[in-house]
Structure 1
Amino acid sequence: MSRLGANGYGEKPVVLVCAFPASGHTNGLVQVSEYLVKNGFPVYFVIGTDWKASAEKLGIICIENPWRPASETMSERENIPIGHDRITFDLKHVFADSTPVVFPIFAAALTRVCDEHPTRKVVIIQETMCQAVLPYTVGIPLPPGYAELPPVINWSTTNNVSADYSVPPFGPGLPYDPTAKNKARWKRIHDAMIASAPVLADHYNAIFAPLGATRRLTEWMWDTLMDFGAVTVFPTSPQAEYPRSGSAAKRYKCIGGLPIKPLAADFVFPDWWPQITANAALPEGERKKVALVSQGTIMRNYEDLVVPTIRALADRDDVILVVTLGAKGAELDPELLGIPLPANTIVVDYLSYDVVLPYADVFVLNAGFNGFVHGFMNGVPMLLAGIEADKAEVCMRAEYAGVAVNLRTTTASEEQIVAGFNELLTNKKYKERAVALQKQSNELDALGTVARIVLQLADGTYRA
């Protein structure tokens, strides 16, 4: 029986999820999948090795994707200048090059879903940078049982990076100021970037051809990736994205940040935790300010932000600074710090942001998209320092939304950190805006929205 011709008989559709195997690309969709499972959807997930065991405990049916970028690739990456060239390298050699591994795994998952649920409709949720589904758009045959590719929700783990002359081009971190002069400049930069489209498209085409592709990609790859599927959803506040007027604007949907997950029942608080709770119990005028600093889980050169933040706030007896190093077992080299660890500073190898953020007054981070969303979902104003990959664009949108001080650098100075930190503490507008985005996101109900879109796509009633 043809897959899209099958009658669901009132059953909820099967959801097949796939995500690029990295924390920022996978974690959000694990949360979405858990919600769908709890609400009666069978969920299959083509998932990285590191997440498989924990996801299976949530009732998600996991299909392992063992792919990892080669260490030689990542070493080569470090020698490429930050900016357009490194972004292009990432798209080619970190993301596109995963296709030969993940595509056959995903194809087998489609077959398995058809075999195990022959009467149910299927909806795919694809994380934008996962390369599992895109090959089907260039003529590669679908598995038996599928007359058409099931409807796809494109799940973005960054801001909208498609080309649109009404907004700044992706990459350089230009402010949103839509004057006629700026729009003309944006168009020139957009056009210059799009002129390099064949370089990326040819790389993808060389990968797709051995898989059976019957047509070639020619479009700007960021547009191809962003405009794929029935709808592209962004788990962020609409107030943290620029308004667009391009032809594809209606197919983009900001659904609000994902809700803060409760801590696991068996979570063990660190031995220093009473410092945080005791401080929170004090009258407001007596409390110390709590700051969390992190460089995320990938770009962990602690000299960029962690070290200067510790040094900048070392003499502040009105501050408790919690530093998370972003990896289990990680340590901060005392020689990097250059001073004894200050009395006001706590360093931990790895800790979920959402443990500390409910108690935090300031979040200092290098502008990872997911960290940014965690910040405003906890109603915490942010001090941002990041320009690599999508970080400059995250910084600019945080500044646009009014929730952050943007230092416009990756390597922040102590003086910049002190000035930004004081601005966040003394100017209440940042806190007010963070709470406003938190409130809007909670009202939008990101998880419920995804579930509704899944049902609407399955029964053919979804409208952009």
Structure 2
Amino acid sequence: MADVLIASLSPIGHIGPLLTVAQDLVTRGDRVTVVTGAAHVDAIRAVGATPHPLPAAADFDQSPFDSESRGSTPKIKALNLAITRLFLAPMPAQLAVLREVMADTSFDAIIADYGFFGVLPLLLQDRSSRPPILSYTPTPMMLSSRDTAPNGLGMAPGAGWRARLRNRVLNVVSQRVLLRPTQRAANALLTECGAGRLPVFLFDIGVLADRYIVPTVPDFEYPRGDLPANVRFVGAVHPQPSRGWVPPPWWPVLDADRPVVHVTQGTVDNEDLSRLIEPTIAALADEDVTVVVTTGGRDVGEIRGPIPANTIVSEYLPHDVLLPKVDVMVTNGGYGAVQRAVSAGVPLVVAGETEDKPEVASRVAWSGAGVDLKTGTPSAAVVGDAVREVLRNHRYRSRARELESAFARRDGVAEIAALVDEVIAERRLVGS
């Protein structure tokens, strides 16, 4: 039996998978404490773990940006400001919470969401003075590499010396010029926390952890000849299967002969349904397909224009029961949703341009599992062409099914539990 601390930001893409991990650890007999936003207290208790809510100053600031000032700010400056505000600024308050919790319990291991930078001062300590730390990334792998372009560009890897030269130049420019203000802000906050300066680029902090957990399969991640030794691919980590869900009366329609196309903008970047949902509805209105729309919790009445006869709209449908009936998924590229689709053998059309979505979209195209539209606001014509291409060209379905097989060979939750045991055993061996 181990005492495990899980620390995460509160957006569901960050905490959701880690609640699944928490439940598994509790089931096997571990004592688990979860530090995250207060909105998840009931969910934490439901999986048998102990909640420790973050104060507002320590959590992800989900209040909207001033769109007028944001629009007038140069993109690189806006990016630096966003990273600092959303992820770096909470660091001192997060660290204070971690120290408070750790003062009461001697934890055997810590699992930290990659965006929870309050763990950074602990990572910079001597390893013998802190519990083993496993860093869990809820996004495509951010680690710098000679074989990949900088994270955020949505640029697929090339081959040969020209690609490596390109990557080297882009990485230097990204780290030493474009994101230099973010690196400075991180070091200033670390100094405030009584820690040293970062020995690596901010987004490479995963190399400092005892293990860096990547919740996908190698087939869906760019190959790297310089992959750090602490990286572990574990396969997908999905939410718990839906229980007690009652299918709506129209559900049998999905078992008819015509293809099913599912479109979603996720649960975060869904304030403006005209970005993807409305163009998809318009694009497929006259096609011989069934379109299943989910608004991610937003009122379905926010969809402008008529709903065609071939289209079904719902605020939410559980993906574990929906995706086995889907032939193509149209999405803005949330990492968790895309992992869910490819692990179910569903090919994709991806239209994403915010947060990590360009990187997700690029991996979908690189892996052969779908089409990257390279925009977050595609026209109806572009969406329609892409959906028809994926339905017509069987190589997308074939590749998605190959990925499904790769995911089926892994149990992400069980592999994370094994990694927890592994780092605890290593620490005890060193201490003996």
Alignment counterpart, residue 333 of structure 2, candidates 367, 378, 381: 367
1:38 & 1:96 partners in 2: Cα distance? 34
Alignment counterpart, residue 267 of structure 1, candidates 237, 240, 245: 245
Q: Give 1:293 shift.
A: 0.7
In the superposition, the TM-score normalised over structure 2's length comes to 0.91
1:395 & 1:77 partners in 2: Cα distance? 28
Are positions 1:310 and 2:276 aligned together? no
In the superposition, the TM-score normalised over structure 1's length comes to 0.85
Are positions 1:193 and 2:177 aligned together? no
Q: 1:450 to 1:390 in 2, by over 3 A?
A: same
For residue 97 of structure 2, what is the aligned residue in structure 1?
A: 105
Q: 1:38 to 1:364 in 2, by over 3 A?
A: same
Q: 1:243 to 1:74 in 2, by over 3 A?
A: farther
2:72 & 2:44 partners in 1: Cα distance? 35
Alignment counterpart, residue 82 of structure 2, candidates 82, 90, 103: 90
Q: 1:138 to 1:261 in 2, by over 3 A?
A: closer
Letter of the 2:237 counterpart: L
For residue 302 of structure 2, what is the aligned residue in structure 1?
A: 333
2:316 & 2:279 partners in 1: Cα distance? 19
Q: 1:399 to 1:81 in 2, by over 3 A?
A: farther
For residue 19 of structure 2, what is the aligned residue in structure 1?
A: 30
In the alignment, is the contact (CA less than 8 A) between 2:264 and 2:293 conserved in 1? yes
Q: 1:126 to 1:299 in 2, by over 3 A?
A: same
Letter of the 1:200 counterpart: T
**What whole-Å deviation, never above 9, does each CA across 1:86-138 have from its counterpart, x for those lacking one?**
44333211011122332211211212222xxxxxx611100100122112245
Alignment counterpart, residue 423 of structure 1, candidates 389, 394, 405: 389
1:35 & 1:396 partners in 2: Cα distance? 32
In the alignment, is the contact (CA less than 8 A) between 2:273 and 2:302 conserved in 1? no
Please list, as runs of the form range in 1=range in 2, the aligned pairs for 1:223-262 lying within 5 A after superposition: 223-224=204-205, 226-246=206-226, 248-259=227-238, 261-262=240-241
Q: 1:210 to 1:169 in 2, by over 3 A?
A: closer
1:175 & 1:63 partners in 2: Cα distance? 40
Q: 1:159 to 1:297 in 2, by over 3 A?
A: same
Alignment counterpart, residue 45 of structure 2, candidates 56, 61, 64: 56
In the alignment, is the contact (CA less than 8 A) between 2:209 and 2:230 conserved in 1? no
Are positions 1:441 and 2:407 aligned together? yes
1:189 & 1:127 partners in 2: Cα distance? 27
Q: Give 1:416 shift.
A: 1.3
Alignment counterpart, residue 289 of structure 2, candidates 300, 319, 329: 319
1:260 & 1:218 partners in 2: Cα distance? 35
**What whole-Å deviation, never above 9, does each CA across 1:29-81 have from its counterpart, x for those lacking one?**
11111111111211111021222211211101111114341636465785377
In the alignment, is the contact (CA less than 8 A) between 1:260 and 1:378 conserved in 2? no
Alignment counterpart, residue 386 of structure 1, candidates 346, 352, 369: 352
For residue 261 of structure 2, what is the aligned residue in structure 1?
A: 291
Letter of the 1:235 counterpart: P
In the alignment, is the contact (CA less than 8 A) between 2:335 and 2:360 conserved in 1? yes
Q: 1:80 to 1:170 in 2, by over 3 A?
A: farther
Match of 1:249, SS? coil
In the alignment, is the contact (CA less than 8 A) between 1:21 and 1:65 conserved in 2? no
Q: Give 1:352 shift.
A: 3.2
Letter of the 1:321 counterpart: V
For residue 9 of structure 1, what is the aligned residue in structure 2?
A: none
Letter of the 2:81 counterpart: F
2:55 & 2:246 partners in 1: Cα distance? 30
1:80 & 1:27 partners in 2: Cα distance? 34
Q: Give 1:351 shift.
A: 3.2
1:446 & 1:61 partners in 2: Cα distance? 22
| Unmatched 5+ stretches in structure 2 | none
Are positions 1:222 and 2:203 aligned together? yes
**What whole-Å deviation, never above 9, does each CA across 1:181-217 have from its counterpart, x for those lacking one?**
222112111110111354223212332333333x223
Percent identity between the aligned chains? 26
For residue 396 of structure 1, what is the aligned residue in structure 2?
A: 362
